[in-house]
């Protein structure tokens, strides 16, 4: 093996068994080291600041800030760290929100270890890495965008999505919104992903401002 610096990774996933498995096959390569493991969004941001890794490999659904929010926070702060989203979610809103937030790659957990390793190396080299199933969805989405006529109106939100967005406008966290509506944090995150996709928004603030302009919610 050539004498090169190892690829330095911060691994973020709220499931210990998943982190252990990913860490083992990454470090078995010899040129990849996991500097630290995070279990939620806030600890991910703290560890990136502390260790300055080359890559963050992170799940979408985590306690507190989800992977999309972590990605957006890193990019807003001007971080150039490579971001590889590794998730079980292949739903269109999650994919689009992740890419729009600034992720360099989006790979499904169902991918083989060697595919995930290739994705890590690709984003480290400044390339994009997209799971084949995700790439197909992206292509279909982009094709639809090209065919769709311009429209002044965003796709309508459901009553529950409007409820969620109205509470976001009040500054409530996902946990507080879930408590008030009697649903889980994960369900709130799913509604937000749908809202972002429908409104073409890349942040909570942008989604709220768009809905206000459309007259869908009032603050």
**Does the pLDDT at position 217 exceed 80?**
no
**Does the pLDDT at position 150 exceed 70?**
no
Q: Which residue has the higher pLDDT, 58 or 203?
A: 58
Highest mean pLDDT among 36-40, 73-77, 145-149, 203-207: 36-40
Q: Are 77 and 65 in contact (CB under 8 A)?
A: no
In a domain, 154, yes or no: no
Q: Give the pLDDT mean for 142-167.
A: 68
User: Which pair of tokens denotes residue 188?
Assistant: 């709130």
Q: Give the pLDDT mean for 6-17.
A: 96
pLDDT at 126 (0 to 100): 87
Q: Are residues 21 and 100 in the same domain?
A: yes
Structural domain span for residue 39: 7-144
Q: Which residue has the higher pLDDT, 133 or 71?
A: 71
Q: Are 189 and 69 in contact (CB under 8 A)?
A: no
In a domain, 219, yes or no: no
Q: Are residues 122 and 171 in the same domain?
A: no
At 106-125, the pLDDT tens digits run 999 999 999 999 999 999 98
Q: Which residue has the higher pLDDT, 74 or 153?
A: 74
Q: Are residues 116 and 194 in the same domain?
A: no
In a domain, 140, yes or no: yes
In a domain, 104, yes or no: yes
Q: Are residues 137 and 171 in the same domain?
A: no
Nearest to 122 by CA among 57, 75, 45, 76: 57
Averaged confidence pLDDT in the chain: 85
Q: Are residues 122 and 47 in the same domain?
A: yes
Q: Are residues 105 and 164 in the same domain?
A: no
Q: Are residues 69 and 176 in the same domain?
A: no
Tell me how many domains the chain contains: 2
- DSSP per residue over 118-166, as a string? HHHHHHHTT--EE-HHHHHHHHHHHHHHHHSPP-SSPPPPPHHHHHHHH
Cβ within 8 Å of residue 194, ≥6 positions away: 93, 161
**Does the pLDDT at position 203 exceed 80?**
no
């Amino acid at each position: 093996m050539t004498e090169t610096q190892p690829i330095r990774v911060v691994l973020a996933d709220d499931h210990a068994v998943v982190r252990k498995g990913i860490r083992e096959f990454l470090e078995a390569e010899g040129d990849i080291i996991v500097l630290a493991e995070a279990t939620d969004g806030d600890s991910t941001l703290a560890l990136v600041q502390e260790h300055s890794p080359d890559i963050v490999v992170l799940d979408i659904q985590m306690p507190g800030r989800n992977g999309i929010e972590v990605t957006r926070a890193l990019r807003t702060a001007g971080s150039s760290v490579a971001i590889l989203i590794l998730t079980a979610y292949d739903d269109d809103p999650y994919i689009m929100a992740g890419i729009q937030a600034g992720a360099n790659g989006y790979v499904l957990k169902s991918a083989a270890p060697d595919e995930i390793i290739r994705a890590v190396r690709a984003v480290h080299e400044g390339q994009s890495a997209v799971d084949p199933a995700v790439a197909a969805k992206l292509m279909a989405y982009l094709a639809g965008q090209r065919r769709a006529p311009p429209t002044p109106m965003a796709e309508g939100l459901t009553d529950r999505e409007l409820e969620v967005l109205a509470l976001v406008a009040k500054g409530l966290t996902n946990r507080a919104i879930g408590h008030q509506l009697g649903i889980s944090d994960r369900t709130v995150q799913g509604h937000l992903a749908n809202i972002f996709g429908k409104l073409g928004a890349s942040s909570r603030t942008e989604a709220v401002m768009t809905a206000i302009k459309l007259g869908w919610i009032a603050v």
